[in-house]
C-alpha cells in the first residue's frame, strides 16, 4: 500500500495533476510526500475521504496553495489548524463525519469558500467569524450538538442552503430572515419552540423543513405557500382544544422582546411601540447605519431591535418591535391538512394592529 501511495503521488507530481484521489487509503497521517519540497503547486482537488486522519498539517496552504476543493469526509479529525485560513482559493471543504469539537475562527478567512460541510461532528457552537464567508452558498452542520447559531450568520449574503438537522437548537436567529438568497432551510429534529416572525417573507425561501420539533406549535403564516415539512411537531394536546388555548400554546417561546400580545379589542398601540416605529422609519430612510446618527437614549436591546425588528406585519409589512397581534389558522383546517396529517401545528399570522388582525386572510 505504501509503495502504491508513493507511486500515485510521484506520478501526480511528475505530470502536474490537478486532481488527486487518496480515498480509502488507510492513512492515519497526512502523507509527507504531499508536503515535501515545493509541494504540489498544481493541485486543485484533493480527495481523502474514508481514511483515519486525526489532524491536518500546518503548512497545508503553503504546500498546496492552489487547492479549490478539499474532501476529508469520514476521518477522525479532531482539530483543524488555524493555517487552514490561508487556503485562499478554497471553494469547497468537506469535513463531514469527523470528530471536530471546535472550529477555529480562521475558517472566516476562507473568503472564496462556497460549500462548507461539517455534518456529523461534535460541534457545540460555530465561531461568529463564519459570518465573514460572503461567498458561502451551502452550510451543512447537521448532526452536531449545536445549541445556537451565530447571529452573524446573516452576513453570509450568498447562503442558499442551510442544513442544521439533528442538533439542540432552541431558536432560529431572526436575523437569518435577512438572507435574501436563502432557498432551503432545514432544522428538523431540534428543540425549536417558535420560528422567527418573518420566516418565509423572502420570496427566495421556498423549502422549510422543521419536522420533529415536538414543542413547535406555530408556523409563520408566510410559510403557507411554501414547501414545508412539519410532521412530528406540536403533537401534544391533540384532542379538541379551545382555540384560545391553541393560540397561547402556539405563542410559547416567543422572543423576550415581545412585551405585549395584542387582541382584536386593543385599538391603541402602546406608546413605546409607536416610538420605535417612528424611529425605525426615520433611520430606515438614512443611507448610513445606526452608529452614525446622534446617540439616542435607548437601551441597547431596543437599539438592536431598531436594526433587526421582531418582524413585519403579515398583512401590511409594518415593522414590529414590542407588540404583536397574532391570529391562528390550525393547519388541519387548511387545504394542507391532507399532506400533514401527523401534526397539530397552526399557522400564525403576526399583525401590527387590531385592524390588520381583523382583515388578514391566509389566502390573501
How far apart CA 9 and CA 5 sit, in angstroms, is 6
Q: Please give the backbone phi and psi of residue 220, each rounded to the nearest 5 degrees, phi first.
A: -60, 140
Q: Which is nearer to Zn ion, 117 or 327 (CB)?
A: 327
Least Å from the CB of residue 263 to Zn ion:
15
Q: Which is nearer to Zn ion, 6 or 281 (CB)?
A: 281
Q: Which is nearer to Zn ion, 142 or 352 (CB)?
A: 352
Do 161 and 137 meet the contact criterion of CB atoms below 8 Å apart? yes
Least Å from the CB of residue 350 to Zn ion:
9
Q: Which is nearer to Zn ion, 136 or 352 (CB)?
A: 352
Per-residue cell: 254: 416567543
Reference 193, options 177, 170, 212; nearest CA is 170
Residues with Cβ within 8 Å of 118's Cβ and at least 6 positions away in sequence, in order, are 95, 96, 100, 103, 139, 140, 141, 144
Q: Which is nearer to Zn ion, 26 or 359 (CB)?
A: 359
How far apart CA 341 and CA 65 sit, in angstroms, is 53
Three-class HEC string of 101-128: CCCCHHHHHCCCCCEEECCCCCCCCCCH
Least Å from the CB of residue 318 to Zn ion:
5
Q: Which is nearer to Zn ion, 133 or 352 (CB)?
A: 352
How far apart CA 70 and CA 225 sit, in angstroms, is 38
Least Å from the CB of residue 351 to Zn ion:
5
Residue identified by cell 515535501 is: 36
Least Å from the CB of residue 277 to Zn ion:
11
Least Å from the CB of residue 142 to Zn ion:
36
Positions touching Zn ion (CB under 5 A) are 313, 315-316, 318, 352, 356
Amino acid at each position: 500500500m505504501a509503495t502504491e501511495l508513493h507511486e500515485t503521488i510521484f506520478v501526480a507530481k511528475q505530470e502536474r495533476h490537478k486532481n488527486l484521489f487518496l480515498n480509502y487509503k488507510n492513512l492515519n497521517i497526512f502523507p509527507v510526500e504531499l508536503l515535501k519540497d515545493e509541494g504540489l503547486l498544481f493541485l486543485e482537488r484533493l480527495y481523502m475521504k474514508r481514511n483515519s486522519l486525526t489532524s491536518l498539517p500546518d503548512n497545508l496552504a503553503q504546500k498546496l496553495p492552489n487547492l479549490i476543493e478539499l474532501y476529508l469526509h469520514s476521518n477522525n479529525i479532531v482539530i483543524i489548524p488555524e493555517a487552514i485560513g490561508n487556503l485562499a482559493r478554497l471553494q469547497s471543504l468537506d469535513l463531514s463525519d469527523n470528530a471536530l469539537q471546535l472550529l477555529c475562527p480562521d475558517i472566516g478567512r476562507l473568503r472564496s469558500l462556497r460549500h462548507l460541510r461539517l455534518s456529523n461532528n461534535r460541534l457545540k457552537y460555530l465561531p461568529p467569524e463564519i459570518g465573514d464567508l460572503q461567498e458561502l452558498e451551502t452550510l451543512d452542520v447537521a448532526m452536531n450538538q449545536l445549541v445556537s447559531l451565530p447571529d452573524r450568520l446573516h452576513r453570509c449574503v450568498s447562503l442558499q442552503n442551510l442544513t442544521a438537522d439533528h442538533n439542540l437548537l432552541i431558536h432560529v436567529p431572526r436575523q437569518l430572515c435577512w438572507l435574501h438568497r436563502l432557498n432551503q432551510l432545514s432544522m428538523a429534529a431540534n428543540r425549536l419552540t417558535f420560528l422567527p416572525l418573518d420566516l418565509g417573507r423572502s420570496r427566495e425561501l421556498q423549502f422549510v423543513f422543521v419536522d420533529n420539533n415536538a414543542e413547535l406549535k406555530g408556523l409563520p403564516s408566510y410559510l403557507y405557500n411554501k414547501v414545508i415539512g412539519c410532521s412530528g411537531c406540536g403533537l401534544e394536546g391533540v384532542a379538541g382544544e379551545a382555540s384560545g388555548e391553541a393560540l397561547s400554546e402556539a405563542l410559547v417561546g416567543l422572543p423576550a422582546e415581545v412585551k405585549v400580545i395584542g387582541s382584536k379589542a386593543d385599538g391603541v398601540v402602546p406608546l413605546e411601540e409607536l416610538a420605535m416605529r417612528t424611529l425605525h422609519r426615520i433611520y430606515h430612510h438614512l443611507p448610513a447605519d445606526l452608529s452614525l446618527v446622534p446617540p439616542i437614549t435607548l437601551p441597547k436591546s431596543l437599539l438592536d431591535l431598531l436594526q433587526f425588528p421582531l418582524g413585519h406585519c403579515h398583512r401590511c409589512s409594518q415593522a414590529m418591535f414590542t407588540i404583536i397581534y397574532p391570529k391562528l389558522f390550525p393547519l388541519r383546517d387548511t387545504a394542507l391538512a391532507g399532506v400533514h396529517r401527523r401534526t397539530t401545528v397552526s399557522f400564525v399570522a403576526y399583525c401590527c394592529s387590531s385592524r390588520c388582525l381583523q382583515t388578514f386572510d391566509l389566502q390573501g
